[in-house]
Amino acid sequence: GQSLEQPSEVTAVEGAIVQINCTYQTSGFYGLSWYQQHDGGAPTFLSYNGLDGLEETGRFSSFLSRSDSYGYLLLQELQMKDSASYFCAVRRNSGNTPLVFGKGTRLSVIA
Amino acid sequence: GAGVSQSPSNKVTEKGKDVELRCDPISGHTALYWYRQSLGQGLEFLIYFQGNSAPDKSGLPSDRFSAERTGGSVSTLTIQRTQQEDSAVYLCASRGTIISYEQYFGPGTRLTVT
């Protein structure tokens, strides 16, 4: 089977840094993606790691360790608008096959 | 160009009725996916179309669910004899090329079965 584990909820203070972890067990692994979803909105792509290491995109960074089947999303200088759900998703092969999503982490940013 | 669009945005139906949900992917995108998201849950894969290949239906929860994609573009997801457990947001996504790793999602159709 396929399973991705991430915390269900995280609360952090505006301006702080928060890390959302994701561990995975899937049949096949090619890369790890992160998506953001605001309430009532569509998931939007944030980041992708195909190789081990850190990828940085502005205030957001994502990390992957294939040997540990583990990745994380790091959000810096948190803003109120970052309050949303964050999903990790595994790409299982190099083709266009569907992503396998985690259940999501609901991030609440408080003043 | 325009993003992925879905219609209707909301659908309320009575148990036992059939419903059709529509998805217009980004023009030129060869891959199209349907996912289902129940309240507070992750995205559950339903069905996947890639070009002219036979669709991957491995995620469909029962034979009441079916989907088609006409002309390699618009897709329709049909749920027959709806049940209350079918209530969820149905999301459509498309993707351009194999080397692209980003899926573009539509706003979803919120289905409520009463």
Series of mean pLDDT values for 10-residue runs along chain B (114 residues): 90 98 93 92 92 91 95 93 97 82 92 97
Residue B27 is given by DSSP the state: T
pLDDT digits (tens, 9 = 90+) for A26-74: 989 999 999 999 998 999 999 999 999 999 989 999 999 999 999 999 9
Rounded average pLDDT over A7-23: 97
Of A41, A97, A104, the CB nearest to B42: A104
Contact criterion met (CB < 8 Å) for B56 and A44 = no
Nearest chain B alpha carbon to A96: B98
Distance from the Cα of B76 to chain A's closest Cα (Å) equals: 18
Tell me the pairing of strands A31-37 and B10-13: unpaired
Which positions in chain B have a beta carbon within 8 angstroms of at least one beta carbon in chain A? Answer: 4, 30-31, 33, 35, 40-45, 48, 50, 56, 59, 91, 93, 95, 98, 101-108
**What's the gap in Å between the CA of A40 and the closest CA on chain B?**
8
What is the DSSP secondary structure assignment for residue B55, as one 8-state letter?
A: P
Res A2: pLDDT: 82
Query: Does residue A98 or residue A21 have the better pLDDT?
Result: A21
Q: What angle do CA B89, B58, B7 make, to 5 degrees?
A: 30
Length of chain A: 111
For B25, counting Cβ atoms within 10 Å of its Cβ (0-12 exposed, 13-18 middle, 19+ buried), the class is: buried
CB atoms inside a 10 Å sphere around CB B64: 14
For A62-108, the pLDDT digits (tens) are 999 999 999 999 999 999 999 999 999 999 888 878 899 999 999 99
